[in-house]
Amino acid sequence: MTAATEGDVREAVATACRSLAAQGLVKGTAGNVSVRVEGGIAITATGVVFAEAVADDVVVVDADRRVVTGALAPSSELDLHRAAYTDDAVGAVVHTHAPAAVAVSLVSDRLPCVHYQQIALGGEIEVVPFSVFGSAELAADTGAALAVANAAILAHHGAVTTGGDLADAVANTAVLEWACDIYLRARAAGDPAELSPDQQAAVIAAAVATGYGQKHEV
């Protein structure tokens, strides 16, 4: 990776942090963002205020957890991010303390698939049992959940989403929070209905056949 490219990646991560804060998905320093780079990951440093993030708030860490670019210590959730990257398809990871996701984690051990847009996240989303932030247990349990979905909710903590690139991971964070909010509203009124596996499969087939969600010529 050239210095210019590395600088672009660090700036992109900082821009994503500011966007997450503007969307109300992050408050203060409560979250972290990373992107896969050659030989390691670019990840937000610990203590970064998302709304004020700049490129210097992002460090590059190699496969041995050593900071190779930047002057700050990496996020305390470095190992959680590293666990997510065991899936070669993952190009970026976003962790937030988004309020609806936290609320779901307090009342359920899963987020049922209540809307077809959740299928892009993996359908039903697991609530990972509580472990202390930065712990090996949290990293391992979250990595296992992300092996079968693009999102996981962390009990009493927040949410993690992955994507093929940074834009996908940020978009998945917004979709997850939206789905959590819908679920909470429905649960307050009654027992939310879920999409069955057959219904989810039908949606996937229709999306593939029509190019749903993708720009294409008539």
By annotation, the residues acting in catalysis are 77
81 beta partners:
none
Strands 125-128 and 151-154: parallel
- What is the DSSP code string of 13-34? HHHHHHHHHHTTS--TT-EEEE
Distance of CA 72 to the CA centre of its chain: 23
Q: Identify residue 183 by its one-letter amino acid code.
A: Y
Asked whether the beta carbons of 80 and 138 are under 8 A apart, the reply is yes
The angle, 0 to 180 degrees and rounded to 10, between the axes of the packed helices 99-107 and 166-189 is: 50
Query: What's the rounded Cα separation, in Å, for the pair 77 and 177?
Result: 20
Compute and round to an integer the Cα radius of gyration of the chain: 17
